[in-house]
Amino acid sequence: MFIDIPSELETALIGLPLPTWKLDSSFLTQATMERYRTELTATPRFKETAATLRHALTGEVGGYAVLRLGNLAKALGTDRFLRLATAFAAEVAVPFSPFPRWPLWKDIGVKIDKDPGKSSGIGYNAFHMDLVNATRPPDYTTLLCVRPDPLGGGPSILSDAHAAVARLSENSRALLAETAYHYGTFFDLHGVGEEYKPFPILDGSELEGFVRFTAKMLERSQLSQAHADAARELAEELIRGQVSFMLQPGDYLIVNQRRFLHGREALHSGQETVPVTDRRLLLQLFLRASVGVGSAA
């Protein structure tokens, strides 16, 4: 699931004249996507690299991928590198921001005074899907590593949601398919449908539907004992099947939300001693699959 960029492609990408992107509402415009694709497909070995990426995300055993863009991050300035990362994302689906008040790429830094379990907190960020309570969650969530935790903590964790569900009892799966779960607030969002409350955790087809799960619902939502127990059983199976790795500068993680859930181990203790400008920093971008397509662009 880790994809290295061939050296001849890296060399060509360093000199690629990608323009600044344009948005239609909060979505990358078709014209921008076409321009990016035209520029990229003219470079050596790009088509096979893009095909490898799409297969890693949508193949039978796929669901996530990490593009190793570290050399390009070093060679390009911030603006040019973000254009390139956006262009790679556009080969998968349509980049967009569901948050009108934030830019296309959203900063996820480290705030020591924030809820430790949040994405910008310092504690364990348990398995979840992003925008779990929207009727149309992003099909893909992506994280671009600018800086890892300088103290060595915070590895990413991922788990195959459908494989975890398959290991549950029939009774638990039946409970998870009931419209009995809820979590979070819903306001000032764009491109993700309406608020879904309550919702089923198992939502859609057995292999491609969303597994609408966030472990935070176990502590912060009022659930019946039976529904909570079923969700807790799923949480245990997600942990049982998890993979873990540390993102390095320039690594670009793309997660197919219809297949995998994600999270993060706790950052290393002592974050208060790290200057804000040196703390872990990720940039997040969401992707919407083409109309009528579940897990492929």
Q: How many domains does the chain have?
A: 1
CATH number, position 158 = 3.60.130.10
- What domain range includes position 242? 2-288
* Phi and psi at residue 3, to the nearest 5°: -115, 110
For residue 294, is it within any domain? Answer: no
Indicate the residue type of 286: F
Find where tokens 């939300």 sit: 257
For residue 65, is it within any domain? Answer: yes
For residue 295, is it within any domain? Answer: no
For residue 87, is it within any domain? Answer: yes
Query: 159 near 261, Cβ under 8 Å?
Result: yes
Taken as a whole, the chain contains a residue count of 297
* Per-residue pLDDT at 291 exceeds 80: no
Q: Identify the pLDDT of residue 176.
A: 97
For residue 207, is it within any domain? Answer: yes
Question: Would the pTM of this model clear 0.85, i.e. be above it?
Answer: yes
Indicate the residue type of 8: E
What would the pLDDT profile of 68-127 be if each residue is shown by its tens digit?
Answer: 999 999 999 999 999 999 999 999 999 999 998 899 999 999 999 999 999 999 999 999
For 148-166, what is the mean pLDDT? 97
Query: CA–CA separation, 168 vs 116, rounded Å?
Result: 29
* Phi and psi at residue 80, to the nearest 5°: -65, -40
Find where tokens 């050296």 sit: 7
For residue 201, is it within any domain? Answer: yes
For residue 170, is it within any domain? Answer: yes
For residue 293, is it within any domain? Answer: no
Q: Which of 143-147, 241-245, 289-293 has the lowest mean pLDDT?
A: 289-293
DSSP per-residue letters across 19-65: PPP-EETTEE-HHHHHHHHHHHHTSTTHHHHHHHHHHHHHSTT--EE
Work out the mean pLDDT of the chain and round it to a whole number: 94
